[in-house]
Amino acid sequence: MSGKADIALIGLAVMGQNLILNMDEKGFVVCAYNRTVSKVQDFLNNEAKGTKVIGADSLKDMVDKLKMPRKIMLLVKAGNAVDDFIGQLVPLLSPGDVIIDGGNSEYQDTSRRCDELEKLGLLFVGSGVSGGEEGARHGPSLMPGGHAAAWPLIQPIFQAICAKADGEPCCEWVGDAGAGHFVKMVHNGIEYGDMQLICEAYHLMQCLGLTPQQMSDVFGQWNGEELDSFLIEITRDILKYRDAGGHLLERIRDTAGQKGTGKWTAIAALQYGVPVTLIGEAVFSRCLSALKDERVQASTVLAGPAQNSCTVDMKKFLNSLKHALYCAKIVSYAQGFMLMREAASENKWSLNYGGIALMWRGGCIIRSVFLGNIKDAYTRQPKLSNLLLDDFFRRAIAEGQESWREVVAKAFLWGIPVPALSTALSFYDGYRTAKLPANLLQAQRDYFGAHTYELLGKEGQFHHTNWTGTGGNVSASTYQA
């Protein structure tokens, strides 16, 4: 049976199984392997019964069943498990073979693995895989990066199994080293932001007294308009879902979990000095939700506004809420693309931003019609510095910002938390402000720490003032201390 399989996949959890079945359906022979070997036979006897999928009872057996150059995809837990498998595979492989990590690995780990394996003559790919189990089975969004020489070897498989948008594959080569996993990380961060924005809209609707079915109807209407997207669609379905106990959503505990990629995006934003404020607030909102017991106690002793009747023209307010959600969503993506641009500059990646938007058009969790507008923006201006400056998005916010401001103001007056909607608005106002109060901040830094400042019209020259007359004239040697 030597040399029969086109690719091997290690890791038979739900995502791994579904990707294997997807590859099989597209005509590729896949060799399946799992650390717990009994799962391989279980998979072949059940989910993969009647397919061309073959199994392996050891890593050597798996490697022996692969065509040259060998292509092996890992779908295992990020971190040590990936390094452990790579360590076991290296002695079994030949120069030119390809290892693909399809998990949610940190991009720095992917860059390190690229460097380590390059010295051994092996090719490494770190690929983002988005779309959940449904996407894995019927067409995910794939974001591969790493050693460019690997792309021609895996391209036929990846572009066959990925989702398609307007006939185009939602998979293209992203860039060197950890670029693929970085783009997937930002995708997940934007996903955090999108979900938080939708939750804030849901919270406001609750406070207006809408029933779950009425809310579902509103989201259903929005899904046929500017907000047409996977997350709006599933929110519509979740709100109307009923079981024997009634609407299920009302009984789900309000504490959100997270697996880390949103947090990594916020950390990367701080490291690169990019104000990705909305995603940061989305992460912190999940952290706040986890303080359930404290919140319940606080709700009995902490006062809110005296009037929170939420009395509005319902139809008008819901329309304003739609525009607020749309405007904040624009800011979220603008911030995400700002972060990718800065990381690309620092890491010398050549990212195709329009191509990334196209990759996200289908298969992934944040897929939406909106992404087509982003691709168009970068087609018009490949070197666009910020999505907010594109004519389409500039007009969209100009048309929707009064509604956005009204919703945020009303939420504050009613005592309803809208951290994502409001921080997006603050970012927009900060970005469009020619002169911010950071001059005072810089003066404060110089006053207490001699950190120096620049004068308008004399940029690049750093000055220190003895503000009290009793301080010294020595300034800090590093301006950005």
Identify whether the C-beta of residue 326 lies closer than 8 Å to the C-beta of residue 403: no
Identify whether the C-beta of residue 202 lies closer than 8 Å to the C-beta of residue 256: no
Candidate list 184, 240, 375, 410, residue with the active-site label: 184
Residue 367: per-residue pLDDT:
83
How do the domains of the chain map onto residue ranges? 7-173, 184-432, 437-480
Query: Which residues are known binding-site members?
Result: 11-16, 34-36, 76-78, 104, 130-132, 187-188, 192, 259, 286, 445, 451
- Which class does domain 437-480 fall in? mainly alpha
CA distance 17 to 22: 9
Selection from 422, 418, 423, 424 nearest residue 202 by Cα: 418
What tokens were used for 367? 């897929």
Instruction: Tell me whether residue 229 is exposed, middle or buried, using C-beta atoms within 10 angstroms of its C-beta: 0 to 12, 13 to 18, 19 or more.
Output: buried
Query: Which residues are known binding-site members for substrate?
Result: 104, 130-132, 187-188, 192, 259, 286, 445, 451
Q: Which amino acid is at 214?
A: Q
Low pLDDT (below 50) residues in the chain: 1, 479, 481
Query: Which residues are known binding-site members for NADP(+)?
Result: 11-16, 34-36, 76-78, 104
Candidate list 172, 191, 226, 281, residue with the active-site label: 191
DSSP code of residue 48:
T
CA distance 379 to 381: 6
Selection from 142, 207, 140, 129 nearest residue 174 by Cα: 142
Residue with tokens 């401001």: 405
Identify whether the C-beta of residue 256 lies closer than 8 Å to the C-beta of residue 286: yes
What CATH number is given for 184-432 in this structure?
1.10.1040.10
Quick check: is 191 catalytic?
A: yes
CA distance 155 to 164: 14
Residue 252: per-residue pLDDT:
92
Residue 479: per-residue pLDDT:
47
Per DSSP, the residues of 185-233 read HHHHHHHHHHHHHHHHHHHHHHHTT--HHHHHHHHHHHTTTTT-BHHHH
CA distance 183 to 104: 11
Q: What kind of architecture, by CATH, is found in domain 7-173?
A: 3-Layer(aba) Sandwich (3.40)
Residue 404: per-residue pLDDT:
98
CA distance 216 to 236: 4
Q: What is the pLDDT of residues 253-262, one digit of tens each?
A: 999 877 677 8
Quick check: is 315 catalytic?
A: no
